[in-house]
């Protein structure tokens, strides 16, 4: 089945990892090593995503700027929504942010490589750690609806 059909649903984050080109794991201090998150894709081309650091007691109100190809969390929380299109041939999803927690993210267009196998969605993107170091982020989601 094409990605445009298997992507539709509600997804809960199972894991999120940032790795350098050498394979070293880099923790994201803004959302922590094990954030909670929900991701929604509907059949009419709309999506929403929410991420939260599990323990926000030490999160600064104004977090550092986002890495390349990524939105910015604030106070251990990130949320955005908008529209999406799928390129089934390339296995990518392009999202346009209509609304976002961080004002500078409104209007952004983000393209992600995605793959669905059964009830698992894997998203990969190249970004940068807060240190500026290039990393590949891999998010694994499980279908919950």
Look at residue 99 and tell me whether its pLDDT is greater than 90.
yes
> Predicted confidence band at 30 (pLDDT cuts at 50, 70, 90)?
confident
pTM equals 0.85
Mean pLDDT of 75-91: 94
Look at residue 67 and tell me whether its pLDDT is greater than 70.
no
Instruction: Give the Cα separation of 2 and 11 in Å (integer).
Output: 17
Lowest-confidence region among 63-77, 93-107, 116-130:
63-77
CATH of 3-143, one of 3.10.129.10, 2.40.128.280, 2.102.10.10, 3.40.190.10: 2.40.128.280
Distances (CA, A) of 64 to 28, 45, 69, 75: 11, 31, 15, 10
Proportion of the chain above pLDDT 90, given as a percent: 69
> Predicted confidence band at 76 (pLDDT cuts at 50, 70, 90)?
confident
């Amino acid at each position: 089945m094409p990605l445009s059909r298997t992507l539709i649903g509600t997804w809960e984050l199972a894991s999120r990892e940032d790795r350098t080109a050498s394979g070293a794991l880099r923790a994201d201090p803004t959302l922590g090593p094990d954030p909670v998150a929900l991701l929604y894709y509907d059949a009419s081309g709309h999506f929403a995503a929410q991420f939260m650091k599990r323990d926000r007691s030490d999160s600064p109100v104004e977090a550092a700027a986002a890495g390349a190809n990524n939105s910015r969390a604030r106070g251990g929380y990130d949320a955005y929504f908008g529209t999406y299109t799928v390129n089934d041939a390339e296995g990518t999803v392009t999202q346009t942010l209509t609304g976002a927690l961080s004002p500078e993210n409104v209007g952004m267009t983000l393209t992600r490589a995605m793959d669905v196998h059964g009830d698992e969605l894997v998203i990969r993107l190249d970004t940068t750690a807060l240190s500026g170091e290039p990393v590949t982020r891999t998010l694994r989601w499980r279908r919950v609806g």
